Amino acid sequence: MTAAQSPDPWHERHGIDDTVVGRRARPSGAVDAEDTVLRVAPQGTPATGREPDASVRPAPRLHGVRVAGQDLLLDAPVVVGRRPAGPRVGSGPVPRLVTVPSPRHEVSGAHVDVRQQGGIVVVTDLRSTNGTRVTEPGRVPVVLRQGESLVARAGTIVDVGDGNLLEILPPQRIIPTKEPLL
């Protein structure tokens, strides 16, 4: 084994296998314009070498849902029904309650829950009497069983009955606003 091939005991102890490709030796302090040195920035550090500003966070991308002629952001769960009510046990964000007409009583009191979890939208049948019909773009409609959930993408139509349709809207970039300084 030559001196250039001899193992470095520190690297061996730490399980590091470095491959070094180099040029001929040059005088101390000399720089070869053909050499390129790449350093990987630590996770979360921008390429500028400065630490990230903790107060600046990426703007959330929230989906929306169109129901009863209004567009609602999914920054909180949306519960749709003939007489929707909030949960009996309060945990998590308070849902928006949206009442829809149901002259033939096809829509249950609290029929369906639509919420964003991370980057996805989840539609959940709230044990409705007549079920929830979900039609994703380019797919065959699916009827959710009582209590069943489904991940829905933008353009999905949710039919809760009596002509009440919900549409899952694509994500919107929300620009956070700051309180004016007084």
* Ordered alpha helix ranges (H), the chain: 9-13
User: Total domain count for the chain?
Assistant: 1
CATH number at residue 156: 2.60.200.20
Residue pLDDT, tens place only, 54-105: 566 565 689 999 998 899 999 999 999 999 987 676 677 889 999 999 999 9
Q: Is residue 31 part of a domain?
A: no
Of 88 and 144, more confident: 144
Q: Is residue 11 part of a domain?
A: no
Q: Is residue 27 part of a domain?
A: no
3-state SS assignment for residue 11: helix
Of 138 and 88, more confident: 138
In whole angstroms, what is the distance from residue 115 CA to residue 96 CA? 10
**Tokens encoding 82:** 């003939």
Single pTM value for the model: 0.63
Of 17 and 130, more confident: 130
Residue pLDDT, tens place only, 167-181: 999 997 555 555 555
Of 142 and 91, more confident: 142
* Ordered alpha helix ranges (H), 1-114: 9-13
Q: Is residue 56 part of a domain?
A: no
Q: Is residue 96 part of a domain?
A: yes
Domain around 105: 61-173
Percent over 90 (pLDDT), the chain: 53
Q: Is residue 179 part of a domain?
A: no
Q: Is residue 122 part of a domain?
A: yes
Q: Is residue 4 part of a domain?
A: no
